[in-house]
Amino acid sequence: MIKAKDLTKVFNSGLLLSKNIITAVDEVNFEIGRGEILALVGESGSGKSTIGKMMLKLLKPSGGQILLEDKDIFSISNNKEFYSRVQGIFQDPYSSFNPIFKVNRIFKLVRQSFKKEISISEWNDRVEEVLKKVGLNAGDVLNKYIHQLSGGQLQRLLIARALLMDVEVLVADEITSMLDASTRVDVLEALLSLKEIGASILFVTHDLSQAYYISDKIVVLYKGSVVESGSIEKVFSNPMHPYTRMLLDSIPQLDRKWEEDRISVEDFDKSRAAWKEGLCKYIDRCSLADVNCMRPKLKLVEEDHYVACVKI
């Protein structure tokens, strides 16, 4: 359905004589089929949100392509057509709504912009049905302003909007990070209703537990590069890259206290210098590293499981 092919994004910062080049996304490849959820995980600065913004045409790639049914999305000149098929939901739901409109007015605008062929009565019935599907009561939310609703309700309203638009691709970027634990499951369950209609979903998250709960596939990013990818079951049951293992070991366990021997955050300049010399980006944090750890390519280690590590 949607595919990233050698996707790259380079940012330039600083003045002309002291320009700093940052490769935020570095030749990333993945594919999301119809009705699939792909989790994009990694620590802050790994390039997750940059990829999401490129998929939504909010940033233009420096290299590579994003293909929607084999067509480069940046060749689609009709933005209304594109955004009728591809939508995003972000971390802060309050920024996604016009605060002067009530919810019912917002849904009416969706019909006027994207679904004019549907009659008003049929649309109203559909709105009630979709709200029920995402766990909301129409009578409780339709006549409310945005500030009268909780973050969890707003995220489910955004998912309802995507359902009403019959979106084909959804970018969900940290959509539960501002919610309390009791609300997160409701939002994730609502997201699964989009999967049921065949939508392809990019689920950007720091939370590996949520990634496992909701996703079919996973891509693990480190400093813009894919270090491990494949079936969520295979990657979680048999993590092979040292970085993936570190991430999984960092998940807090209810049956034990936090241990003090945590891996420290890397020295950025050291890692960047190593990368420029052609060495692995993870070399300064890896317990397995030696001088032979050149910058690796992804390789197939078992069916639907890829790892970028020369030690594997």
What pLDDT sits at residue 17? Answer: 63
**Tokens (6 digits) for 210:** 């949520």
pLDDT higher than threshold 90 for residue 85: yes
Mean pLDDT of 226-249: 94
What pLDDT sits at residue 270? Answer: 52
Q: How big is the chain, counted in residues?
A: 312
Whether 227 contacts 221, CB under 8 Å: yes
312 part of a folded domain:
no
DSSP letter assigned to residue 311 = T
46 part of a folded domain:
yes
Domain residues for the domain of 265 are 2-307
Mean pLDDT of 206-224: 93
pLDDT higher than threshold 90 for residue 203: yes
pLDDT higher than threshold 80 for residue 62: yes
Please tell me the distance from the alpha carbon of residue 173 to that of residue 93, in angstroms, as a whole number: 11
| Residue-wise pLDDT tens digits, 245-299 | 999 987 766 666 655 544 444 444 455 555 556 788 888 888 888 878 888 889 9
277 part of a folded domain:
yes
pLDDT higher than threshold 90 for residue 181: no
Neighbours of 52 (CB within 10 A): 22
173 part of a folded domain:
yes
What pLDDT sits at residue 15? Answer: 66
pLDDT higher than threshold 70 for residue 152: yes
275 part of a folded domain:
yes
Whether 308 contacts 225, CB under 8 Å: yes
What pLDDT sits at residue 268? Answer: 44
Please tell me the distance from the alpha carbon of residue 55 to that of residue 57, in angstroms, as a whole number: 6
pLDDT higher than threshold 90 for residue 88: yes
Comparing 120-129, 179-188, 236-245, 248-257, the range with the smallest average pLDDT is 248-257
What pLDDT sits at residue 263? Answer: 44
| Residue-wise pLDDT tens digits, 5-54 | 999 999 987 666 667 888 899 999 999 999 999 999 999 889 999 999 99
Q: What is the mean pLDDT of the chain?
A: 88
What pLDDT sits at residue 275? Answer: 57
User: What distances in angstroms separate CA 196 from CA 100, 158, 168, 175, 239, one per listed residue?
Assistant: 32, 16, 11, 19, 29
pLDDT higher than threshold 70 for residue 112: yes
302 part of a folded domain:
yes
DSSP letter assigned to residue 293 = -
CATH of the domain at 263: 3.40.50.300
- Split into its structural domains, the chain has a count of 1
When pLDDT is cut at 50, 70 and 90, the band that residue 94 belongs to is confident
